[in-house]
Structure 1
């Protein structure tokens, strides 16, 4: 191996001050976005008694926000209320509507008060004193207290909660309420990613939380109440008449039919049976981006990667793992699979991470001849490889390009698609064979949260069986770094992961939704959850 076959080390420049990206974390194909925002044509038929006159359906109505009506959000995935504290595509559509968190990061990632009014660090970052609002009530009418916050933080330790913040909450050694509206949290060590915990921990009603698993008692503090849920069919939310923000929300309710077929999901929007189609296939979004009746929106950032088992030949040789990075045409994946709604990237986190480095994002470029030479030098030419793929369309299409490129580089790859449940179970068990492809909707979280919490990347255990002490050390350094130390620590983490190459990041993209222009003033949170506080229909 020559020196040029090793990716560059930590970048000292080109951090997150590079071109900013919107909430979804995408900067490419700005022409598509401008088309998606063009003025529109007519809306069509009525839905659930909420459609107004034809001229208003065209978005011609003026006069500011309007009260009333039920918004229809067609979901590509069913709700899973038990995972309300997890960063999942299914929860992102409704989590912020029903529940709230201690903080709400602004567009720059700076935490702002939501249920917490302020917080302060002590003992070198090992103690956090939090003060809470005194005007918050659950949908049951009961006031929210510090005991509910303690309970909610403790709940993140339950594996059934499925939250990526568990790695952060596991650092908590003690929590105590100081009256009804203050609490103190003590940590085993400083946690620079503590706000991932605050952003993900939906505050649940401790008296009814047992009903979350069945969707029986789903009680939060948000602007909408959980009215009914028929698994696999529909979720219905109603306006919270006692929401503490005067006059909000404007909508009477939100209907969320579950439409898992991608074509039918878009058809519901085009036929005016839905106002928003949530989690749309990128190619479908591109097809409607030139139709002036719709806007393209961006939710959570998703990083797609191909991971390798470092104990299985030929990937027990780091030269082969690095060669994979040079063999894959990331731009082709971004263009053909994600229709230009994405960036080719060698990093697993988005530009929202303060330690993001453009140099590292471009560390592995498409160099097929170089990849083939490296594989030949490692004696791996002709090695048979099975690529396990999660059974979602974007991952399957990505894996086909990976298979084609690795074959061109001299390996003999085949793909095997696993359904989502089997893939998830095998990932948790570390049983995904020599190579596997998936997308990770955690790219907006801190880099340290990803590497200490996800079963594909965890420093203590992962499906690549890559757990050297040096990996744990750089992960821990990133997790415990102060705000000032964090960029350098994250760049060191990225450089280490790229050198060892047990995972090759391919593309960062965003979960995409389409919105009729009859809907005004929707928003998404820093982590991509739908926010309808100010939304209204025209």
Structure 2
């Protein structure tokens, strides 16, 4: 099933017993009541939406539960579908947009969720001091103007007709009460005020987050559940075992082997097919990877199929090209393959110049990340004039270090649905999400061309240049296709995903 989903790149979403577009048990009527137990992979720093990430590998259920969504994208055709918003349109090729809202929306503190509240949230997300990953999207907005309580005019720094796909993928989609945010972080964490389907009961750090149904939710009779219990479990095997032993109802999943195990046991899964993937990023800003030869040597030295074996039991999909052949943007431009002899020549040449390759892999605390780092370290130990160290830190530290660009090597991603957001964000010279520090004029120009082109044919030409330059620049090792996904108990229904594996908790219901 997982391999088949990967082949459906860019056109559909598929899963075990349901579809990401419609959810499990589509023929049944939702039943009210019950509490769903949810596993997420990363503990939040705090409950400010600016600190949460709307991807399968972070806190999507929590953000959607507390703050609801302005809009989502349909994973079958990537059309925008509206929730608290009623429209997000442009008439000038993405130079400006008009956001319209449902009338009468209110936060749980009784204050209005209006266009002024959206403006407040979007303006603050541009502040680097927040350390929000959504700054990548927020800084594309030059300014916004409140037209009336339900209308906001948005002016972009540069035209981007595909900006809606970027908006749904981050905290721009989650609006919190301005008055509550202004009370400070401690007060907000004790009482995070949104307009989502659930409200906070209790957050016991490093243990659990208890949520209860919001009786004033705008889209009644949703949510169907009475509550959610969210726990952070960073280990994939533990998440799988918890689902299969009845200890959880919904779990984000990051591991191909774990998904196959759950699927084989007859449990529901939902997978969002994507292009691009996860890559081991090398920091262009400092030695040793400010020298392209060092990056190329690592790419030639590491056998990614062997990495796949130790990390995913051989069940992951190692990208051979940036896009799958089923994508309209596919080009036969192969990603680097191992050549140990050429790698050693490069390591020796750098050492002869007094620049032996020595670096530290900054690892997240997950089993996947640690195994990947140690596997890469073990492979490189067979070469002369290269030293790889591993430093394991928690999610908050890793996120902060990545944001500060304080790393030599780290896991990153450029996961592609519509190609603009993932690739422009990760690799454009002007993007704050460009963690590796690429600043290549030809690459940036091609990314701009792909963003602004009006036809698939024009975009294909632009993204062919993007693919070629990425291979030539070697920003990292593309070690696995990402697997934005969830697993579920057999009693959970209504699973509905958008963007990169983000479930809508208001749609969930249980037959327990």
Mapped to 2, the partners of 1:395 and 1:404 lie a distance apart of 14
1:414 paired with 2:380, answer no
- Which residue of structure 2 aligns with residue 491 of structure 1? 464
Per-residue deviation, 1:106: 0.5
Per-residue deviation, 1:68: 0.9
1:82 paired with 2:48, answer yes
- Which residue of structure 2 aligns with residue 20 of structure 1? 8
Say how many residue pairs are matched: 487
- Which residue of structure 2 aligns with residue 117 of structure 1? 86
Mapped to 1, the partners of 2:259 and 2:459 lie a distance apart of 36
The range that moved more, 389-398 or 477-486, is 477-486
RMSD: 4.1
1:99-156: per-residue Cα shift (whole Å, max 9, x none)? 2333211113222222222233244532212222225332334442111121122122
Mapped to 2, the partners of 1:149 and 1:475 lie a distance apart of 29
Contact 1:128 1:185 in 2 (8 A): yes
The range that moved more, 473-482 or 198-207, is 473-482
1:209 paired with 2:181, answer yes
Per-residue deviation, 1:234: 1.6
The one of 38, 41, 61 equivalent to 1:93 is: 61
Q: 1:482 to 1:378 in 2, by over 3 A?
A: farther
The one of 269, 285, 299 equivalent to 1:296 is: 269
The one of 354, 359, 374 equivalent to 1:386 is: 359
Mapped to 1, the partners of 2:194 and 2:97 lie a distance apart of 24
1:244-275: per-residue Cα shift (whole Å, max 9, x none)? 33432221111123445655544543443322
1:395-423: per-residue Cα shift (whole Å, max 9, x none)? 22223333344455665332222314554
Mapped to 1, the partners of 2:31 and 2:504 lie a distance apart of 17
Q: TM-score, normalised by structure 2?
A: 0.79
Q: 1:352 to 1:148 in 2, by over 3 A?
A: farther
User: What aligned pairs does 1:300-311 form with structure 2 within 5 A after superposition?
Assistant: 303-310=277-284
Per-residue deviation, 1:431: 3.8
Q: Which has the larger radius of gyration?
A: 1
What SS is found at the alignment partner of 1:129? strand
The one of 198, 206, 229 equivalent to 1:232 is: 206
What SS is found at the alignment partner of 1:173? strand
Mapped to 2, the partners of 1:243 and 1:171 lie a distance apart of 31
Mapped to 1, the partners of 2:260 and 2:352 lie a distance apart of 40
Per-residue deviation, 1:449: 4.1
Q: TM-score, normalised by structure 1?
A: 0.76
Q: 1:468 to 1:460 in 2, by over 3 A?
A: farther
Mapped to 2, the partners of 1:460 and 1:445 lie a distance apart of 20
- Which residue of structure 2 aligns with residue 67 of structure 1? 32
Contact 1:308 1:321 in 2 (8 A): yes
Mapped to 1, the partners of 2:429 and 2:316 lie a distance apart of 22
What SS is found at the alignment partner of 1:510? coil
User: What aligned pairs does 1:190-269 form with structure 2 within 5 A after superposition?
Assistant: 190-199=159-168, 200=170, 201=172, 202-210=174-182, 213-214=185-186, 215-260=189-234, 264-269=238-243
Q: 1:20 to 1:464 in 2, by over 3 A?
A: closer
What SS is found at the alignment partner of 1:273? coil
1:529 paired with 2:502, answer yes
What SS is found at the alignment partner of 2:48? helix
Q: 1:23 to 1:139 in 2, by over 3 A?
A: farther
Per-residue deviation, 1:446: 5.6
